[in-house]
Amino acid sequence: MTMGGQDTDAPREPRVLQGLEDSRASVRLRAALALGTAPDPCYVDKLLERCAVEDEFFVLDMLTWALTRHPVSSTLPGLLREVRSTRAQARGQALHTLSKLGDRRAWPAITRALLCDADEEVAKSAWRAAVVLVPEGEEAALAAVLATQLGRGERATQLSLSQALVALGEVSVPCLRAAAQAGDPRVRAHAHATQRLLRDPDAGFEWAIDQARRVVALTGAPGTDGGNRADR
C-alpha cells in the first residue's frame, strides 16, 4: 500500500533498527526482542554493533538471544570478527554468544590471548566458550592454558576459572597438582580449592577457597613436609 508515492511499510525496518540506539533501555530492549522474533541476516551487523557498546545487562542478554535466533551462517563470520576487536566489550559479548551457539567451527578463534585476556570479563567469557567448543582430544591442552590463570582476580573470577577446569574433568588434575605446589600462595589456594570442587562438585566455592587458604597458610611454602601432606 502506498500513500503519496511512499511505501507505508518501508519505514518499519529502519525504526526497529533505530530503536537499538534509543536513549531509553526499555526501547532498546523491545527493539532487540523484535529483531530476534523476526530474524533477518541484514540485522546481524547492527546487533553486533550494539553488543559492543550496550551498558544495560538485560538489553545485552536480549541482544545475545536475538543473535542466536539468526542462522549460524549469518552470525558466525561477524562473531569471529568481533572476538578480534580492540573493544573489550565487543570481544566479551562475541565470546559469550559463541558459547551459546556451541558451533565448534569457532574453536580456532579461541586463542591463548583471549584465554589470558587482560580484561577479566573477556577472559571469563573465553573460558566458558572454550569449555563448550573444545574439540575432543584437546581438553588437556586447554586445561594447561587455563591453569596459568589460577590465582587471578577476585572470587567471582576465580570461581569462573574453577568451574571451567572442573567442567574439563580429570584432564585438569595434573595441572592442578602442579599449581598446588606453586610459589604464589594465591595460586596454591586457588588450585587446592579447584581440586576440592573437582572431587566434590556440590561443595560451595566459598567454603572450598576458605579451606584451601587455611591449608596454604598452615603449610607454608611448597615443598615443605606440611605442604606435601596438605592435599592427601
Q: Note the pLDDT tens digit of each residue in 110-163.
A: 999 999 999 999 999 999 999 999 999 999 999 999 999 999 999 899 999 999
Q: How many distinct structural domains can be found in the chain?
A: 2
**Between 88-101 and 72-82, two packed helices, what is the crossing angle to 10 degrees?**
150
User: Could you tell me if 126 and 202 lie in one domain?
Assistant: no
In a domain, 183, yes or no: yes
Binned at pLDDT 50, 70 and 90, residue 9 comes out as very low
The pLDDT tens digits for 162-196 are: 999 999 999 999 999 999 999 999 999 999 999 98
Which residue range forms the structural domain that includes residue 183?
138-232
pLDDT at 205: 56
Residue 197 CA, distance from chain mean position: 20
Choice among 25-34, 75-84, 209-218 with the minimum mean pLDDT: 209-218
In a domain, 220, yes or no: yes
User: Could you tell me if 201 and 155 lie in one domain?
Assistant: yes
Q: 35, 95, 105: which is closest to 72 by C-alpha? A: 105
User: Could you tell me if 25 and 112 lie in one domain?
Assistant: yes
Residue 175 CA, distance from chain mean position: 21
Last residue of a domain, one of 84, 112, 133: 133
The contacts of residue 199 (CB under 8 Å, 6+ apart) are none
**Which residues are paired to 3 by β-bridges?**
6
User: Could you tell me if 159 and 188 lie in one domain?
Assistant: yes
Last residue of a domain, one of 91, 109, 133: 133
User: Could you tell me if 34 and 106 lie in one domain?
Assistant: yes
Last residue of a domain, one of 77, 110, 133: 133
User: Could you tell me if 22 and 113 lie in one domain?
Assistant: yes
User: Could you tell me if 30 and 118 lie in one domain?
Assistant: yes
**Please, what is the average pLDDT of the chain?**
87
